[in-house]
Amino acid sequence: MYNLPMNRIKKINKLWLIPAALLLGIGLYFIPPIHDRLAPRVDLVRTRIVYFFKPPAEAVFQPSGQTALTIETAIVTARAEMLLTLTPRATMTPTQGPTPTPTITSTPLPASVILPGVVYVDQHGAWNYCGPANLTMALKFWGWQGTRDDVAKVVKPGSGDPKKNFIEQGLPDKNVMPYELVDFVNENTNLRALSRYGGDENLVKRLLAAGFPVLVEKGYYEHDYTGKIDWLGHYLFTTGYDDARGGFIVQDAYLKPGKDLLSTYAAYQDGWRSFNYIFMVIYPPEREKELIDLLGPWKDETWATQHALELAEKEIKSLKGNDLFFALFNKGTSHVALQQYVDAAAAYDQAFASYEKWDIKEKNRPFRMMWYQTGPYFSYYYSGRYLDVINLADTTLNDTISTPTLEESLLWRGRAYYQIGDTESAVADFRAALRVHINWTPAVQALQDLGLQP
């Protein structure tokens, strides 16, 4: 009988420690307190591995312009539920409305304004909490007593899986749209909120000088783990300005430290351009008339959108390089808001062509763009370009994100699938959207329109 040497036996015994340690580690990982803290980090590691083998900035959507049906046929034959509220406008020249002068300051603005009573709220320890954290700051300014979790439970409730804690449930939901923040305020608090496109520096100063802080959505640049500059979407709570220092005073929920930072006017403008100069104001209802007077022509949402369109057209003529992409995209976004979908589709086609030519020597392409702004889906869908909707969603879901968890992209792809007759795929996408955002009204409605339960 062959006897193993003692040193060989010790090595074999040590080898058994490896699977034992792995099993122990897996067991510890799923203990709720440990799992809650490690899950986002594990997700980050997984994302970096996926991005290493499949760099998202290399994904480029190329619109085909092809339609599954002509626009006229689509209007006649499409399911009524899908086309009930919005109809394409095919005017190639947008109707010009009145253009009041936007600068209406009746008295000179002070050189510096710093609003008192700001309560700083960060987004740390909870991934994708930029929207809830910033809205919480805006609400607390007016005395609201809730927390960022109170906001998140409504605007990014996640899967609703009772086996997971609340923050982990909402982890896959990468973004909260401005309309979701506005709706939260108007439907869940005793305060009011509005949003408009086409804001500018003087308007923000005028609002601040009157005591109204401003929440904007903007682009944000930082170095990724490879050393290249990445673009991300970000909310920024603006609570003052200082002309002597040349910038706005902002509360940045992402940075450490992020309280009372200076954002130079140039940097603020450059980032704001990425989102068509959208801004939100939260306010007490008793001060609504004062706010409306301060807004001037921006009180009219249609005027504000038309103004944003004019800004985009001016910037298209003056900007070059990578910035041109954002101006072209903004033109499409404004056309969508005006329900001029064919015009919007043409603008987005140009934007995506510019995106393909992006100078990637120092900056990655802004591959997260469709995570935050969904105007191209509206424009292509309501122009009858269902194949472009599907292809754009495929690029976004399969090539720009580590897991396909963007409920808006899933919804629009499902709608397009339905229009070309692939009901099975449509239903799968609607249900997938609900696994990211439980009880999300558009996906629930889409299933109900098909006679299905969510």
For every one of its 454 residues, what pLDDT tens digit does the chain have, with 9 covering 90 and above?
A: 455 465 555 555 555 555 655 555 545 444 555 445 555 555 555 555 655 566 788 889 999 986 644 444 444 334 433 433 333 333 333 334 444 444 454 679 999 999 999 999 999 988 889 999 999 999 999 999 999 999 999 999 998 888 787 777 888 888 999 999 999 999 999 999 999 999 999 999 999 999 999 999 999 888 776 677 899 999 999 999 999 999 999 999 999 999 999 999 999 999 999 999 999 999 999 999 999 999 999 999 999 999 999 999 999 999 998 899 999 999 999 999 999 999 999 999 999 999 999 988 878 999 999 999 999 999 999 999 999 999 999 999 999 998 899 999 999 999 999 999 999 999 999 999 999 999 999 999 999 999 999 8
Token couple for 379: 């424009």
Q: What is the CATH number of the domain that holds 188?
A: 3.90.70.10
Q: Are residues 32 and 109 both part of a single domain?
A: no
Give the three-class secondary structure for 194.
strand
Q: Is the distance from CB of 118 to CB of 142 less than 8 angstroms? A: no
Answering whether pTM is above 0.85, one says: no
Write down the pLDDT at residue 236.
Answer: 97
Tell me how many domains the chain contains: 2
Q: Which of 318, 334, 362 is the last residue of a domain?
A: 318
Dist CA 213 CA 193 (whole Å)? 12
Q: Are residues 43 and 192 both part of a single domain?
A: no
Write down the pLDDT at residue 167.
Answer: 78
The CA-based angle 374-378-384, given to 5 degrees, is: 145
Q: With respect to residue 255, please indicate whether it lies within any of the assigned structural domains.
A: yes
Dist CA 170 CA 85 (whole Å)? 30
Domain range spanning residue 203?
A: 104-318
Closest CA to 262 of 244, 243, 247, 252: 247
Token couple for 334: 């404004």
Q: With respect to residue 150, please indicate whether it lies within any of the assigned structural domains.
A: yes
Q: With respect to residue 281, please indicate whether it lies within any of the assigned structural domains.
A: yes
Write down the pLDDT at residue 97.
Answer: 41
> What does the pLDDT look like over 49-68, one tens digit per residue?
655 566 788 889 999 986 64
Q: Are residues 216 and 314 both part of a single domain?
A: yes
Q: Which of 300, 318, 336 is the last residue of a domain?
A: 318
Q: With respect to residue 87, please indicate whether it lies within any of the assigned structural domains.
A: no
Dist CA 330 CA 315 (whole Å)? 10
Q: With respect to residue 425, please indicate whether it lies within any of the assigned structural domains.
A: no
Q: Are residues 194 and 311 both part of a single domain?
A: yes
Give the three-class secondary structure for 157.
coil
Q: Are residues 153 and 25 both part of a single domain?
A: no
Q: With respect to residue 140, please indicate whether it lies within any of the assigned structural domains.
A: yes
Report which secondary-structure segment, H or E, holds 269. helix 265-273
Q: Is the distance from CB of 205 to CB of 214 less than 8 angstroms? A: no
Write down the pLDDT at residue 227.
Answer: 74
Cα of first residue to Cα of last residue in the chain, in angstroms, is 67
Q: Are residues 38 and 146 both part of a single domain?
A: no
Write down the pLDDT at residue 46.
Answer: 53
